[in-house]
Amino acid sequence: MKVGFIGLGVMGEPMARHLRAAGHDLAVWARRPESAAALAAEGVPVCATPAELAARCDAVITIVTASADVDALAFGEQGLAAGFAPGAVHVDMSTIAPAMARSLAERYAARGIGFVDAPVSGGGQGAREAALAIMAGADEAVLARVRPLLEAVGKRIVHIGPPGAGQVAKACNQMIMVSAIQACAEALSLANAHGVDAAAVRSALMGGSAASRVLEVMGAKMIGRDFAAGVEARLHHKDFALLMDEAARLGAPLPVAAQVWQQLNALMRAGWGRDDTASLLRLLESSDR
């Protein structure tokens, strides 16, 4: 397929390479030309605007930071919508508000263009290994057209429901994952407070009912006091604002997530937004004093 890619960051660049390796005809656009330099040197065409990229592609994948960024890429001046031919598909793999995903899908549909919200879980490692979990929200027929692209970057692709449903699943993912990181931090902090070897505790727990990916990966980071980002905590902080705002709109109580959100707020104030979310452990330690 002729596929375009926008958002060549820690996640996006390896994803773009996997698409090319799978035999797709790749082209890119980048707000900062230097982020496309490596691919350009390998012969990947770099377009001058999102519209130009859309005009040469059957589908364009975006993975950027915020709802407003995706909106601007799609419907801003020289945006994707201005270039897409009818029947083309925009696959947005960013984490944004479900309401924005629904709004984009509606506006595209009015022009005969498809939209898939397909946020991912698995982090930089999952992107490098083409092993991402992909949660898709789209009409069945639209998703079918771009499934080969998703299969090139992910291992587990689940069609959750109509447009926006992928973002709802991602919100659930973030809520469970970050709450688990907080629980992990509290457990290791408790072990430390007792003067018990936290590494031994983690190792024992991994064999029992409390075993989880978070305890495995984030627990190891905490014990090794490795707070360099995997995923920057500020991004989880952003995700929490989104999901808590939606919960308020829906009248859904999320008592645990609300507390975790407050810990993330304190983490931001402590200046650890660009560090890993494992820093939630450091926050508990600093409030000991």
Active site residues: 170
Among 189, 261, 276, 278, binds another protein (CB under 8 A): 261
Sign of CA dihedral 213, 91, 240, 263: positive
Among 265, 274, 285, 286, binds another protein (CB under 8 A): 265
The two three-digit tokens of residue 128, written as one number: 């490098």
Of 42-50, 72-80, 123-131, 262-270, the window that binds another protein (rule: CB under 8 A) is 262-270
Is residue 252 part of the contact set for another protein (CB under 8 A)?
yes
Backbone angles phi, psi at 257, to 5 degrees: -60, -35
CB of 288 to another protein, least distance (A): 15
Q: Compare residues 85 and 256 and give the one whose CB is closer to another protein.
A: 256
Is residue 266 part of the contact set for another protein (CB under 8 A)?
yes
CB 29 within 8 A of CB 52: yes
CB of 115 to another protein, least distance (A): 26
Is residue 248 part of the contact set for another protein (CB under 8 A)?
yes
Is residue 250 part of the contact set for another protein (CB under 8 A)?
yes
The position carrying tokens 């508990």 is 284
Q: Compare residues 194 and 274 and give the one whose CB is closer to another protein.
A: 274
Residue 175 DSSP code:
H
Q: Shortest CA distance to 28 belongs to which of 10, 48, 9, 42?
A: 48
Q: Say how far apart CA 53 and CA 149 lie, in whole Å.
A: 17
State which of positions 178-237 bind another protein (CB under 8 A): 237
Q: Compare residues 157 and 266 and give the one whose CB is closer to another protein.
A: 266
Is residue 172 part of the contact set for another protein (CB under 8 A)?
no
Q: Which residues contact 172 (CB under 8 A, 6 or more apart)?
A: none
DSSP string for residues in 64-98 = -S-HHHHHHHHHSTT-HHHHPPTT-EEEE-S---H
Of 72-80, 88-96, 163-171, 260-268, the window that binds another protein (rule: CB under 8 A) is 260-268
- The SS3 of residue 54 is helix
Q: Compare residues 53 and 244 and give the one whose CB is closer to another protein.
A: 244
Q: Shortest CA distance to 159 belongs to which of 140, 181, 183, 180?
A: 140
Radius of gyration of the chain (CA): 20
Among 53, 63, 244, 278, binds another protein (CB under 8 A): 244
Quote the strand ranges of 19-165, DSSP E.
Answer: 25-29, 59-62, 89-92, 114-117, 120-121, 132-137, 154-161
Q: Compare residues 213 and 269 and give the one whose CB is closer to another protein.
A: 269
Among 125, 203, 259, 286, binds another protein (CB under 8 A): 259
Q: Compare residues 211 and 248 and give the one whose CB is closer to another protein.
A: 248
Residue 138 DSSP code:
S
Is residue 269 part of the contact set for another protein (CB under 8 A)?
yes
Residues that contact another protein, how many (by CB under 8 A): 23
Note the residues at the interface with another protein (CB under 8 A): 237, 240-241, 244-245, 247-248, 250-255, 258-259, 261-263, 265-269
